[in-house]
Amino acid sequence: MRFDTPATTNPIDQMKVVGQAIPRVDGPLKTTGTAPYAYERHDVAPNQAYGAVVAAGIAKGRIASIDLAAARAASGVIAIVTAEDAKDLGKGDMNTAKLLGGPDIDHYHQAVAVVVAESFEEARAAANLVRVRYETTPGRFDLEAERGAAKTPDEDSPETAVGDFEGAFAAAAVKLDATYTTPDQSHAMMEPHASIAAWDGDQLTIWTSNQMIAWSRGDIAKTFGIDKDKVRLISPFIGGGFGGKLFIRSDAVLAALGARAAGRPVKLALPRPLIANNTTHRPATIQHIRIGATRDGRITAIGHESLSGNLSGGSSENAVQQTRLLYAGADRMTALKIADLDMPEGNAMRAPGETPGLMALEIAIDELAELTGLDPVELRILNDTQVDPEDPERPFSQRRLIECLRLGAERFGWAGRSATPGRRREGRWLIGTGVAAGIRNNMVATSGARVRLDADGIVTVETDMTDIGTGSYTIIAQTAAEMMGVGVDRVLVRLGDSSFPVSAGSGGQWGANTSTAGVYAACVKLREVVAQRLGFNSGDAEFTDGSVRAGNRSVTLAEAAGADGLVAEDSIEFGDLDKDYQQSTFAAHFVEVGVDAATGEVRVRRMLAVCDAGRILNPVTARSQVIGAMTMGVGGALMEELAVDTDRGFFVNHDLAGYEVPVHADIPAQDVVFLAGDDPMSSPMKAKGVGELGLCGVGAAVANAVYNATGVRVRSYPITLDKLLPGLPEMVG
């Protein structure tokens, strides 16, 4: 099915099942501990052995020698594989560095060997006996120090210009010129990267924790130099990813290498310290923002430049992309720079680009409000735009940011905010409120599904779509139930298997909208097959209450399926609507904080997100996505930072003891409001994503609230005590 004209009335519009607050269909499996996560698949392959990674102890250099004698002689050891043993190992298209290093070392904790043993304890003990001697070479580990060597990345549209930014900025009555920094951050998902690999001749099966099955299947095939048809990836449940599992990582490759060497299945999980340095992370940024405005607050010039670092050949963190769309202004400029660093690979993390970009831009907008004497909500409303600011002939398909801001301000009690920082106190606590806008584009991708109808009237959906805790099982079941006229209890959803039709996968906030649209397409075809078998006109057939009706005739779906059942398969393919109309989602985030006037301790007291994201397929799962994102935003604002050892080139706090994330005590009352409505330009579902939108702008809302409480403007995240204490107002009795 091709989607190239706006959606009209269709069966999803009935909203009998879609749009309803249906509990997760996979909830019982997860709450009883019976959901099969990758490392726990003891049943899928007999006689599993265990793998342990030997990780590089330097960030840059070469392996001079590697002594395996003690490890080979250790109890229970079956096999050891190094790069020397895997000479023909390739590199996937989506990996910047090889997942098995040697003799050259590209970054700290790059895998250099895998040890396979009978038990986990034996594998780990033997891995500790591998002796590697290195020859180190100087490396580049400090983003600030490499600013002078930064270059324009080899990416589409890294620099944009409309009008005369420099001239307009110079002529502006009000000018803001400030630099903001965001740190490296870890995905810190609960489930580590984990895989079980088994070979059957030249056929490789990997049970793994991965968000994008088709991408990763292709990269595994390329890495091992085998045909893609000989690779099967299975990932039905994923314990969090946040972008860290978009691509194949060393756990899958090393498990497969170990299994081939051992001649039996091998399971391998990356220990927590390896996740920060061995896998991917969100890169740090240094952002320079300049905004010119009239005295009444209208933006006339807006410029945003950002620098990030990565391994040579890696991509940049596109922290300027939201600035191209969020506010009006005739004269505009954005630019990206990237510095080569010999640090672990930077790559996508939840809302890549927008998260750090809005952490800077939305503080800058707050500062502009202060310079012009306008309320921060009103300044944002004043500079709203209903068209792409870089291409005024291109309207937004739907943009209700003003409604988000006004409704949020009303519900949050924004009118009671003190416009003068540091004025509101409750005992020793300084109280402040902050606001920030959020934007995340609505991206679409081809997505397929197979739908079966059996003799019992059960509808089974098969697609390689994944569920990373987002509710994919539930919204896909709702889609099929709505289309086929049955209850959710009559739908079986099977996900995360490369033998199923290729879907959009989980990432970029595109998963829910496009995967359900793919199921919609397959169900349209199945409805046609059912109607044809019964001699009905498919346009007149009504699917409801487990039956299909046309005129005075009604047949149950079970009868229509017959003993052999019926099956249909299709994909949703998108035309140019996303080119003709800018498709985005919007949010207004409001935060109240208390700051201890003596210690600088920050406590978030309450939070509100108002979201404009098209049709909400399930308000329960959507709300869960947004409050989880809001929680991540608090972490990014106040505590999360991978600390770089700029001498040795690694992240020092590479575990959950040193890398702090919010806990329950850090997160008080959270409220989420979804604007009612749908977007027919997006897909037949008329939906858009919310999973990343919920994070976009949250960090800045916290930062702006801290400023309102204290009068201390922090432009370098995270906002820690040392940055607040010197500027806190004196205590008063």
**Does residue 574 form part of some domain?**
yes
How many structural domains is the chain composed of?
3
Instruction: Number of helices (H) and strands (E) in the chain: give both, helices first.
Output: 17, 32
Q: Which residue has the tokens 């009905």?
A: 536
How do residues 472-482 score in pLDDT, each as one tens digit? 999 999 999 99
Residue 637 has φ and ψ, to the nearest 5°, of -75, -40
Do 263 and 293 fall into the same domain? no
Q: Is the pLDDT of residue 273 over 50?
A: yes
| 585-641 confidence digits (pLDDT tens) | 999 999 999 999 999 999 999 999 999 999 999 999 999 999 999 999 999 999 999
**Domain around 574:** 2-33+444-578
Please tell me whether residues 289 and 222 are part of one structural domain.
Answer: no
The predicted-structure confidence for 503-524, as pLDDT tens digits, reads as follows: 999 999 999 999 999 999 999 9
**Is the same domain home to 418 and 556?**
no
Helix (H) or strand (E) holding 256: helix 250-262
Strand bridging mode 650-651 / 644-645: antiparallel
Residue 260: enclosing H or E segment and its boundaries?
helix 250-262
**Partners of residue 614 on adjacent β-strands:** 687
39, part of any domain: no
pLDDT in tens, 328-339: 999 999 999 999
Structure tokens at 387: 């068209």
Buried b (16+ CB within 10 A) or exposed e, 696-732: bbbbbbbbbbbbbbbbbbbbebbbeeebbeeebeeee
Q: For 449-475, what is each residue's pLDDT tens digit?
A: 999 999 999 999 999 999 999 999 999
Whose CA is closest to 462, among 507, 492, 506? 492
Judgement on whether residues 303 and 395 belong to the same structural domain of the protein: yes
Which pair of tokens denotes residue 494? 């099977």
Domain identity same for 497 and 412: no
One domain, residues 614 and 643? yes
CB 453 within 8 A of CB 459: yes
- Does the structure show a pLDDT above 80 at 157? no
Is beta strand 425-426 parallel, antiparallel or unpaired with respect to 429-441? antiparallel
Indicate whether 14 belongs to any domain.
yes
Q: Is pLDDT of 154 > 90? A: no
In the three-class reduction of DSSP (H, G, I as helix; E, B as strand; rest coil), residue 321 is classed as helix
Q: What is the pLDDT of residues 221-257, one digit of tens each?
A: 999 999 999 999 999 999 999 999 999 999 999 999 9
Say what percent of the chain tops pLDDT 90: 98
| The one catalytic residue among 191, 482, 592, 692 | 692
Backbone angles phi, psi at 635, to 5 degrees: -60, -45
Rounded to whole angstroms, how far apart are CA atoms 569 and 525? 7
User: pLDDT tens, 384-424?
Assistant: 999 999 999 999 999 999 999 999 999 999 999 999 999 99
pLDDT of residue 731: 63
CATH code for position 337: 3.30.365.10
* Residue range 641-657, pLDDT digits in tens: 999 999 999 999 999 99
692 among known catalytic residues? yes
8 Å CB contact between 480 and 465: no
DSSP letter for 708, please. Answer: H
| Mean pLDDT, range 350-365, rounded to an integer | 98
φ and ψ of 647, to 5 deg: -90, -40
Tell me if the bond preceding 718 is cis, omega within 30° of 0: yes
Whether 370 maps to a domain, the answer reads yes
Dump pLDDT digits (tens) for 416-451: 999 999 999 999 999 999 999 999 999 999 999 999
Asked if the model's pLDDT at residue 733 lies above 60, the reply is no
How many other β-carbons are positioned within 10 Å of the β-carbon of residue 294? Answer: 12
Both 337 and 229 in one domain: the answer is no
Which SS3 state, helix, strand or coil, does residue 101 take? coil
Residue 332 CA: distances (Å) to CA of 325, 390, 396 = 11, 8, 18
Give the model confidence (pLDDT) of 121-151 as tens digits.
999 999 999 999 999 999 999 999 999 999 9
Residues 332 and 420 in one domain: yes
The 3-state secondary structure of 625-688, one letter per residue: HHHHHHHHHHHHHHCCCCCEECCCCEECCCCCCCCCCCCHHHCCEEEEEECCCCCCCCCCCCEC
Distance CA 302, CA 329 (A): 7
Domain for residue 44, yes or no?
Answer: no
- Average confidence (pLDDT) over 176-181: 98
Q: Which two tokens stand for residue 154?
A: 């080899």
Instruction: State yes or no: pLDDT of 352 exceeds 70.
Output: yes
**Domain presence at residue 230:** yes
Same domain for 252 and 127, yes or no, is yes
Nearest-angstrom CA–CA distance, 421 and 27: 45
- Predicted confidence (pLDDT) per residue in 74-110, tens digit: 999 999 999 999 999 999 999 999 999 999 999 999 9
Q: What is the pLDDT of residues 37-67, one digit of tens each?
A: 999 999 999 999 999 999 999 999 999 999 9
Taking the CA atoms of 512, 518, 221 and 231 in sequence, report the sign of the dihedral they define. Answer: positive
714 and 608 within one domain: yes
Looking at the predicted structure, is the pLDDT value of residue 279 above 70? yes
CA distance 358 to 300: 19
HEC profile of 580-603: HCECEEEEEEEEEEEEECCCCCEE
Residues 507, 522 within the same domain: yes
Mean pLDDT for the chain overall: 97
Residues 221 and 294 in one domain: no
pLDDT of residue 56: 98
